[in-house]
Amino acid sequence: MAAAKEEMYPKKILEYMEGYLVSKTLFTACELGVFDLLQDSEIPLAAADVARALNSSEDGMNRLLSACTGLDLLTTQNTADGPVLYSNTEMSSVFLTKSSPRSLYHSIDYNSNTMYLCWHYLPHAVREGKTQYEKAFGVSSKDLFEAVYRSDKEMVKFMWLMNSIWNVCGRDVISAFDLSPFRSIYDLGGCSGALARQCVKLYPDCTVTIFDLPKVVQMSREHFLSPEEDRISFHEGDFFKDSLPEADLYVLARILHDWTDERNVELLSKIHQSCRPGGGVLVVEALLSEDNSGPLTAQLYSLNMLVQTEGRERKGSEYAALLTRAGFTTVHIHNTGKIYDAVLGLKTGPPL
């Protein structure tokens, strides 16, 4: 037995221990603009060319490009006696270049410059059972979104973060249930409108109103919504303080995971009151499995919610319980197999 233990090789533990090296390599290559430069270049480039163009040391760039190649983010071409030449892989050009419609650049930027700093205080968060915004950023506001939106710059960065994932996962959550009977839809906390855009694309008869805090709506109008999106409109308000307009369907995407059970029941009860009979609420979240075994992404997101918010990730049954407490009578749960899943709660009434 002892001999077997001595022969064990802790592959997983070594990978986990050094996982941050991988994240930081990706963050740095994105931040310095490596993938954008290689995309714009008509030809593969040597490390020296990349270093010159990005105002970096040749030695540092050489190592960064080599590590990106090991991570399958770049491909190499060996010339006879010249230097190694680098170009983007297909995955990098689709997801890591700023101009790509499916870019994750802004998510990576937020992970690198905000979340990574907060996660430094994960041990404190676990011990104290609360958000670490104050330690990480010196923000002492009691209001979660006052802290997240501590400057206009931070607000736009957060909005870009919210925006980018729906270009990758949005269609799956919007098509998880047939939403075609719901014509008037309110996306509560709809932010930059990325999910609203997926919604109007898939359901040609619906209109979507993005309900969000006034300054978010203003920013969204300025930076995110294009004029041709005429079935999308805005409503400025606070969903905890203001009354909610009547609608067929309310979307709550990544809203309930920010708050405690009590605040969620308060919000869901308000929605239930305003909802047309036969209408409902679509909750979009990363669901934890019922037996606590995974998925790992949702388990890690739940730690992230601890570090950054008042909330948590939950199981489908926990969302069903919140919806039932608020008055919704029928609840359907759909796991998409990707990061985000969908839960539909219906209000008693004739079908719409």
Ligand X SMILES: C[S@@+](CC[C@H](N)C(=O)[O-])C[C@H]1O[C@@H](n2cnc3c(N)ncnc32)[C@H](O)[C@@H]1O
Binding region for ligand X (CB under 6 A): 145, 162, 189-191, 194-195, 212-213, 216, 238-240, 253-255, 258
Smallest distance from the beta carbon of 258 to ligand X, in angstroms? 6
By C-beta, is 16 or 240 nearer to ligand X?
A: 240
Would you tell me the crossing angle of helices 58-70 and 19-32 to the nearest 10 degrees? 120
Q: Nearer to ligand X by C-beta: 50 or 196?
A: 196
Of 182, 228, 188, residue with least CA distance to 209? 188
Q: 157 or 254: whose CB is closer to ligand X?
A: 254
The token duo for 124 is 């404190």
CB of 90 vs ligand X, minimal distance in Å: 26
Contacts of 315 (CB under 8 A, 6+ apart): 287, 288, 289, 290
User: Between β-strands 45-46 and 84-88, what pairing exists: parallel, antiparallel or unpaired?
Assistant: antiparallel
CB 50 within 8 A of CB 41: no
Parallel, antiparallel, or unpaired: how do β-strands 84-88 and 275-285 relate?
unpaired
Considering the complex, what minimum distance in angstroms separates the CB of residue 58 from ligand X? 40
Place of tokens 């694309």: 201
Q: How far is CA 301 from CA 150, 261, 285, 296, 297, in A?
A: 22, 17, 10, 8, 6
Measured from the CB atom, the residue of 47 and 323 that comes closer to ligand X is 323
| Residue at shortest CB range from ligand X | 189
- Of the pair 50, 156, the CB lying nearest ligand X is at 156
CA nearest neighbour of 121 among 110, 107, 106, 137: 137
Nearest CA to 326 out of 343, 351, 303 is that of 343
Nearer to ligand X, 42 or 222 (CB): 222
Q: How far is the CB of 30 from ligand X (least distance, A)?
A: 20
Residues in contact with 286: Cβ distance below 8 Å, sequence separation at least 6, in sequence order: 257, 295, 297, 298, 301, 313, 339, 340, 341
Cβ 240 to ligand X shortest distance, Å: 5
Catalytic residue among 257, 272, 332, 334: 257
- Look at residues 31, 43, 53, 56 and name the one whose alpha carbon lies nearest to residue 86: 43
Q: Among candidates 249, 209, 274, which has minimal Cα distance to 345? A: 249
CB of 190 to ligand X, least distance (A): 6
Q: Is 257 a catalytic residue?
A: yes
33 or 189: whose CB is closer to ligand X?
189
Helix H segments across the chain?
2-7, 11-17, 19-32, 34-40, 47-53, 58-70, 90-95, 105-110, 116-119, 122-128, 133-137, 144-148, 152-174, 194-202, 214-223, 261-274, 296-308, 316-325
In angstroms, give the least distance from the CB of 187 to ligand X: 7
Active site residues: 257
